[in-house]
Amino acid sequence: MSSCNTVHSNIALMLGGLGLFLFGMKIMGDGLEVAAGSKLKVLIEKLTKNKYMGAVVGLIVTAVIHSSAATTVMVVGFVNTGFMNLTQAAGIIMGANIGTAIAGLMLAIPFEELAPLIIFLGVTILYFLKKNSHRNIGQILAGFGMLFWGMHLMTDAMQILSELEGFKQIMGLLMNPLFGFLAGIIVTAIIHSSSAIVGVLLSMGGAGIALENVIFIIYGQNIGTCITALMASIGTTKTARRAALIHLLFNMIGALIFAVITLVFPFTHWIKMLIAGTAATQIPFVHVFFNLATTAILLPFSNLLIKVSCKLVPGEDEVQEDLRLIYLDNRILNTPSIAVSQVLKEVERMADLAKCNFKYAMQSFLENSQKRVDKVYKNEKIINFLNRSITEYLVKINGLDINDADKRLVGSLFRAINDIERVGDYCENICELSEILIAGRANLSETALEEIESMRIMVESILNEAVFIFCTDNQEQDIIDIVDKTEDEIDDKTEEFKENHIDRLNKGECSPIAGTIFMDILTSLERIADHATNIAFSNRQRHMKMLKKSDIKLPV
**Position 164 confidence tier, pLDDT thresholds 50, 70, 90:** low
Find the mean pLDDT for residues 182-202.
79
Q: pLDDT digits over 27-46, tens only?
A: 777 777 666 665 666 666 66
Domain-embedded: residue 321:
no
Span 179-188, mean pLDDT?
84
Q: What is the pLDDT of residue 105?
A: 73
Indicate the pLDDT class of residue 1, thresholds 50, 70 and 90: very low
d(CA 529, CA 461): 9
Residue 81's contacts (CB-CB under 8 Å, 6 or more residues apart) are 325, 326, 327, 328, 329, 332, 342
Average pLDDT of 158-172?
A: 66
* pLDDT for the residue 341: 81
Q: What's the average model confidence in pLDDT over 46-60? A: 75
Residues 6+ apart with CB under 8 A from 270: none
CB 529 within 8 A of CB 540: no
Residue 543 has pLDDT above 50, yes or no: no
pLDDT at 111 over 80: no
Q: Residue 397 pLDDT > 70, yes or no?
A: yes
Query: For residues 30 and 333, what is the distance between their CA atoms, to the nearest angstrom?
Result: 12
Mean pLDDT computed over every residue of the chain:
81
324 falls within a domain: no
Does 210 lie in the same domain as 284? yes
pLDDT > 50? residue 365: yes
Report the pLDDT value the prediction gives residue 41, as an integer from 0 to 100: 62
246 shares its domain with 152: yes
> Furthest-apart CA pair in the chain: how many Å?
110
CA distance 547 to 553: 8
Alpha carbon 185 to its chain's center: 27
Q: In the prediction, which pLDDT does 424 show?
A: 92
Residue at a domain's end among 312, 345, 373: 312
Indicate if 403 and 480 belong to the same structural domain: yes
User: Which residue from 35, 260, 8 is spatially nearest to 125, judged by alpha carbons?
Assistant: 35
Looking up residue 340, the CATH number of its domain turns out to be 1.20.58.220
More confident residue, 525 or 32: 525
**130/518 Cα distance (integer angstroms):** 56
- The pLDDT-based confidence of 217 (bands split at 50, 70, 90) is confident
Residue 168 lies in a domain: yes
pLDDT at 541 over 60: no
| Domain span holding position 535 | 335-547
The mean pLDDT of 164-192, rounded to a whole number, is 76
Within this chain, do residues 371 and 304 fall inside the same structural domain, yes or no? no
Better pLDDT: 235 or 387: 387
* 12 compared with 396, residue with greater pLDDT: 396
Q: Which is more confidently placed, 37 or 71?
A: 71
Whether 26 shows a pLDDT value over 90: the answer reads: no
Our count of domains for the chain comes to 2
**pLDDT score recorded for residue 16:** 84
Model confidence at 207, in pLDDT bands (50, 70, 90)? low
* pLDDT above 70 as % of the chain: 85
Examine residue 423 and state whether it is found in any structural domain, yes or no. Answer: yes
What per-residue confidence (pLDDT) applies to 35?
Answer: 67
Domain identity same for 418 and 494: yes
Q: Is the pLDDT of residue 443 over 50?
A: yes
* Statement: residue 418 has pLDDT above 70: yes
**% of the chain at pLDDT higher than 90:** 17
In-domain check, residue 320: no
* pLDDT, tens digit, 9 for 90 and up, residues 446-503: 888 888 899 999 999 999 888 888 877 766 666 777 788 888 888 888 888 888 888 8
pLDDT in tens, 225-279: 888 888 888 877 888 889 889 989 999 999 999 999 988 888 888 888 888 777 7
Same domain, 398 and 451: yes
Q: Do 339 and 308 share a domain, yes or no?
A: no
Closest C-alpha among 351, 250, 359, 252 to residue 304? 250
Task: Note the pTM of the prediction, 2 decimals.
Answer: 0.70
Are 273 and 357 in a shared domain?
no
- Model confidence pLDDT, tens digit, residues 278-289: 777 888 888 888
| Dist CA 189 CA 17 (whole Å) | 19
Mean pLDDT of 118-125: 88
One domain for residues 359 and 484: yes
Q: What is the pLDDT of residue 359?
A: 93
Higher pLDDT, 495 or 505: 495
Report yes or no on 556 lying in a domain. Answer: no
542: confidence class by pLDDT, cuts 50, 70, 90: very low
**Is 553 inside any structural domain?**
no
Whether residue 531 is predicted with pLDDT greater than 50 in this model: the reply is: yes
Alpha carbon distance 251, 247 (integer Å): 6
pLDDT value at position 429? 93
Rounded to an integer, the average pLDDT of 295-302 is 89
Does one domain contain both 292 and 342? no
Alpha carbon of residue 70 to chain centroid: 11
At residue 87, the pLDDT reads 84
* pLDDT confidence bin for 552, thresholds 50/70/90: very low
> CA 108 to CA 111: how far, in whole Å?
9
> What local confidence, expressed as pLDDT, does residue 554 receive?
33
Q: Does residue 419 have a pLDDT over 80?
A: yes
329: in domain? no
What is the rounded CA–CA span in Å between residue 92 and residue 97? 9
pLDDT at 547: 34
Residue type, 174: L
Instruction: Check: CB of residue 229 under 8 Å from CB of residue 72.
Output: yes
Q: Domain check: are 340 and 307 in the same one?
A: no
pLDDT mean over 208-213: 78
Identify whether residues 80 and 213 lie together within a single domain.
Answer: yes
The 3-state secondary structure of 242-259 reads HHHHHHHHHHHHHHHHHH
